[in-house]
Amino acid sequence: MTDANQQNLVLSIYPFTRGFAFVLFEGPESPFDWGVKEVKEKHKNTKTLDEIKKLIDQYRPEVLVIEDLTNGESRRTSRIRKLYRMLAHLATTEYVDLQRYKKSQIKECFGFVGASSKYEIAKAIAIQIPAFAHRIPPFRKPWMSEDPRQNLFDAAALGLTYFARHVRSPYADDVSP
């Protein structure tokens, strides 16, 4: 883990109503930093963008992973949509590769372990990354609002989808056709 052999960092961001969740990965099973930052006051997008820029300046990730809203399958607010556009611009100006994944791609990625709902995906992530196991939110009933901790797992799901789709498995050669 010295400077010479450090892997590239991947930053996945998942904004929500009261702020944003982020997970910084060194590898699919080794998160480097993570958290949920709350932005409550006015000008949320500007403040959120400032916080994300601070993270990028601190860690210099190679890749920024966000949700893909282009096909309309996601029901995010206009503010979040605007924030995603601002994030895309930030990635360009900071020379960070941008990757976007649709909800369907995330579900497809976690479908291999039998997880389809948000809660099941969170449980699958908690098994893969024990550091997140104690942060798993309780099962959400229809009358309950979403737990802020769920957003951390949504961010982690984006990062893990990136690794599943872009990083070659070390066991790939063992699979016979």
Q: In the complex, which residues of this chain contact other proteins (CB under 8 A)?
A: 1-6, 9, 31-34, 57-60, 95, 130-131, 134
Rounded to a whole number of angstroms, the minimum distance from the CB of residue 70 to other proteins is: 27
Residue number, 1 or 175, with CB nearest to other proteins: 1
CB nearer other proteins, residue 34 or residue 101: 34
CB of 91 vs other proteins, minimal distance in Å? 12
Q: How far is the CB of 30 from other proteins (least distance, A)?
A: 8
User: Coil, strand or helix: which one is 52?
Assistant: helix
Cα–Cα dist 158/107, whole Å: 10
- 80/87 with CB nearer other proteins: 87
3-state class (DSSP) for residue 141: coil
Supply the minimum distance, in Å, between the C-beta of residue 29 and other proteins: 12
Q: Are strands 19-27 and 30-38 parallel, antiparallel or unpaired?
A: antiparallel
State how far the Cα of 21 lies from the Cα of 30, in Å rounded to an integer: 17
Question: Within 10 A of 164 (CB to CB), how many other CB atoms are there?
Answer: 17
